[in-house]
Structure 1
Amino acid sequence: MAALIPALQNFMPPLRPRDPEEHHRAATPLELLFDLVSVIAVASAAAGLHHGLSEGHALEATLTFGMAFFAIWWAWMNFTWFASAYDNDDTTYRLLTMVIMAGSLIMAEGIPSLFSATPDFTTVIIGYVLMRIAMVVLWLRAGCADTAHRKTAIAYAIGIALVQLYWVSFMLFQPLSSGISYGMWAIGVLLEISVPAIAESLTSSTPWHRHHIMERYGLLNIIVLGETLLAGTLALRETVEHFDIMLVHTALSALVIVFSLWWVYFLPEEHLPTRSLRRALIWGYGHFFIFASGAAIGAGFAALVDIITHHSEISVLAGDYAVAIPVAAYFLSLWMVRDRYICKGISIGVLPGFALLALLAPALGLGLEGVAGAAALAAIARSRLQAVPAGHSIPQNN
């Protein structure tokens, strides 16, 4: 792999590292377009979960949703951290980014086949591997110019390429039983998440920009929460055809929940106050559960609309829990990546406490309104009990 460096230096202009302390660093139009493409794949995965929940196959649909969402999120995350360190916006960089976008669209096309009775991973893996091959080229470009992090860049390129061979073998071994498919997917996930941990430990961390990364994650969170707003709109649209007060309650609850989740995420405290590799990995990887939970909430609301309009045979209680469980998971995941590091005193228990309340609400007969109330109270309590008072610094814990 290292022998390709001289050839790339002659063929492409250098991809020099960005300044990690650059002022006013913000998301680029190309990154925003990348997010727009990614949301199509997210919507496809959420739709599969929605239909699985409505048909009474919650466990299978949730596992398949997790598999699909990981592929979408991991490709997005890897590109985002790379772009934070090396985005030079030249022609080659733009074209390779567009190749990654094309792979994401191919994945979105293949996601419905994962939710069928006999899952077919072919299209999803083809799209995913295409995205990752483009990342191999980008890392090799980075290794050409960034001599300080050349070992890291080459390690990324080699690691990503080897894992793609694993995914191709997974595809060629189809059809597989569900158990074997889940097991092989879990092995692939472990291989994927080990690549950054190994590569970044070889030299000092690549020059990613803290505020840029936090902005990029925040933008994707907004996009994911949009799935819940979409489900709320679906409930309102159904009221036009046949009015049902439960649909109105569902739409209002969707608004309250999405506003509350947005509020607790975008508090004044910085999510990532240190460049520690350990903290960055926990924060970066932990967001998988935040993003997946946010998308799952929208699927749960869509399933509730099916129940209310008699397009599903599952109970309303099951539909309430299709929302309550991911709401609780969202709060617990946010606590895991942020609050347990920066909160002191009573504030450290706010999100876990209201996660438990959201889970108890349907069982106590409070229904969806109880879940929405728990989310709203969590936003109020967490906002009033800010981890860092005005004028104080954020703890720099690793």
Structure 2
Amino acid sequence: MRAGRQSPRFHDVGMANIRWTVIVQAGWIVVAFVPLSITAVFAAFGVLGALELVLPVLAQRSAGGTPWHPHHVAERYGLFAIITLGEGVLGTVASSGDLLGGGDGTRWTWNAIAVVIAGVGLTFGMWWTYFMTPFGDILVHRRGRGYLFGYGHIPVFIGIAGAGAGLHVAGLYMEHHAKISGTAVVLGLALPVGLYLLMVYLLHRLLLEVLGTR
């Protein structure tokens, strides 16, 4: 509202952001306080969740958009990726904690050593893979692909967080606390890592292809 009031050039986009935000928030309030059937609740969650995701597009494109700095945006997403990768470290710590022998946590077992090496190695490997692509430099030349870059990171973050959870599950399995099969444990880690690698590859390829780079 302040930007819309003080900048005539961006008044319309400021008001559009306010308008769509109020509409979506009013919808959440209705879901929270109005008795609805379970079917209506799930339908409302789907519609409102979709509106939350497309709100930037609706507000920005309907009113001409606002300026943004490619390197700053790439840095924000990169920092978010680093924060999410912290889940991998936490998953490794949680996995190895009960695998320490001796009861006082001073004697390492081979299982604990394997979990730490694999978990930390996987986390840093994912970090290295992400930052191989200079997203900021690419966005400088293809600002029109900003939404592809932004929305494409949603499954990237899902994959990173899922990998951290998968490491925790692996630790529980090795501690004999999990009641699932070894195949399920492997898939619980392999699938989110696969999703992450696939999305990083697709972002890299699509952003470079639109630049004509092969």
TM-score above 0.5, yes or no? yes
Among 15, 37, 51, which residue is 1:191 paired with?
Answer: 51
Q: TM-score, normalised by structure 1?
A: 0.48
Alpha carbons 1:235, 1:248 under 8 Å: kept: no
Q: TM-score, normalised by structure 2?
A: 0.85
After superposition, residues 1-398 of structure 1 pair within 5 angstroms as: 140-173=1-34, 177=38, 181-241=41-101, 244-271=109-136, 272-273=139-140, 274-276=142-144, 279-342=145-208, 395=211
* 1:164-213 deviations in Å (ceiling 9; x for gaps): 01111111246754x65443222112111232112211344312211111
SS in structure 1 at match of 2:120: helix
Alpha carbons 1:230, 1:298 under 8 Å: kept: yes
Partner of 1:63: none
* 1:128-154 deviations in Å (ceiling 9; x for gaps): xxxxxxxxxxxx111011211111110
**Offset of residue 235 of structure 1:** 2.9
Report the CA distance shift for 1:328/1:316 in structure 2 as closer, same or farther (over 3 A). same
The amino acid that maps onto 2:115 is T
In 2, Cα distance between equivalents of 1:396 and 1:184? 42
In 2, Cα distance between equivalents of 1:173 and 1:396? 52
Report the CA distance shift for 1:235/1:212 in structure 2 as closer, same or farther (over 3 A). same
* 1:310-344 deviations in Å (ceiling 9; x for gaps): 2111112211111111101111222333322316x
Query: Which portions of structure 1, spanning 4 or more consecutive aligned residues, are displaced by more than 3 angstroms?
Result: 173-177, 179-183, 241-244
The amino acid that maps onto 1:270 is F
Number of equivalences: 205
Identity of aligned residues (%): 27
Higher relative contact order, structure no. (Cα contacts within 8 Å, ≥ 6 residues apart): 2
Report the CA distance shift for 1:325/1:163 in structure 2 as closer, same or farther (over 3 A). same
**Offset of residue 234 of structure 1:** 2.2
SS in structure 2 at match of 1:239: coil
Bigger Cα displacement from structure 2, 234-243 vs 157-166: 234-243
After superposition, the CA RMSD in angstroms is: 2.3
In 2, Cα distance between equivalents of 1:339 and 1:296? 23
Q: Which runs of 5+ in 2 are unaligned?
A: 103-107
